[in-house]
Amino acid sequence: MILTKSQVRAFYDRFGNMQDSQSFYEDAALDDLIAHADFGQAENIFELGCGTGRFASRLLTKHLSPSASYLGIDLSLSMINIAEQRISEFAGRAKVVQSDGSMSFPLHDHSVDRVICTYVLDLLSESDIQQAISEAHRVLIPGGKFCLVSLTYGETFVSRIVCAMWSTLFHIHGYLVGGCRPIRLNPLFGKLDWSIDYRNVVIQFGVPSEVLIADLKSAPN
């Protein structure tokens, strides 16, 4: 069952710093994203669902150019407070803002060269996923990259079992797994305007994550 926005906010307000404990299965996929998304060339970065700011802090510290700017949004105020502290040393060029959970990004058309969304699409409804993709299309410059990581379906014996257990918990109540369920990112980018620059499934401790980088290839209308 997909959680409502107020359920998601309540969950992540309470979860707070514990989100970082998910790094045991997230980090290998995030490493893979960093290895392929050419963040060193990026100048304006937007992140949907920045959580505790762990990924932002890592990018700002090690991978972005010193002139690059970063904006993150999140529905949960606890997450925003944690992220704000975490990236405070980059305050001149990085900020986080609480959102109302709607999929309208607070950005001008064609104003960023990276949109990041890690472990967030997998807790959104189908219509919000479609809207997030269309917003990424609106705000990215041509040649910009939509950088995604999501829970996905298992591809090995162990990861299929883990995925089946995860899905069972999700169907009992989404709250048991933070609202997240396995999804497939690849088929969401079948339209002509996107080209898949990179795709991989990374399995860490049996948990499968899909890493996908979609380039906006044509001039947006």
Ligand X SMILES: C[S@@+](CC[C@H](N)C(=O)[O-])C[C@H]1O[C@@H](n2cnc3c(N)ncnc32)[C@H](O)[C@@H]1O
- Options 144, 174, 178, 182; binder of ligand X; rule CB under 6 A: 178
- Rounded to a whole number of angstroms, the minimum distance from the CB of residue 103 to ligand X is 7
Q: Which residue, among 127, 70, 113, 62, has the nearest Cα to 94 in the 3D structure? A: 70
- Rounded to a whole number of angstroms, the minimum distance from the CB of residue 48 to ligand X is 6
- Residue among 22 and 111 whose Cβ is closer to ligand X: 22
Place of tokens 């105020």: 77
Site membership for ligand X, residue 55 (CB under 6 A) = yes
Of 31-39, 113-121, 138-146, 156-164, the window that binds ligand X (rule: CB under 6 A) is 113-121
Site membership for ligand X, residue 33 (CB under 6 A) = no
- Contact in structure between 170 and 177 (CB atoms under 8 Å): yes
CA distances from 170 to 17, 34, 88, 112, 198 (A): 22, 29, 35, 34, 28
- Residue among 101 and 193 whose Cβ is closer to ligand X: 101
Site membership for ligand X, residue 123 (CB under 6 A) = yes
Site membership for ligand X, residue 207 (CB under 6 A) = no
- Options 34, 68, 82, 120; binder of ligand X; rule CB under 6 A: 120
- Residue among 25 and 194 whose Cβ is closer to ligand X: 25
Strand, coil or helix: what is 92?
coil
Beta strands in the chain (DSSP E): 44-48, 69-74, 94-98, 112-118, 140-151, 194-204, 207-216
In this chain, which residue has its C-beta nearest to ligand X?
51
> Which parts of 68-97 interact with ligand X (CB under 6 A)?
73-76, 79
- Rounded to a whole number of angstroms, the minimum distance from the CB of residue 122 to ligand X is 8
Do the strands 140-151 and 207-216 form a parallel or antiparallel pair, or are they unpaired? antiparallel
CA–CA dist 192, 186 (Å, integer): 13
Site membership for ligand X, residue 129 (CB under 6 A) = no
Place of tokens 């797994």: 177
CA–CA dist 76, 14 (Å, integer): 9
Binding site for ligand X (CB under 6 A): 5, 8, 12, 19, 26, 48-51, 54-55, 73-76, 79, 99, 101, 118-120, 123, 178, 180
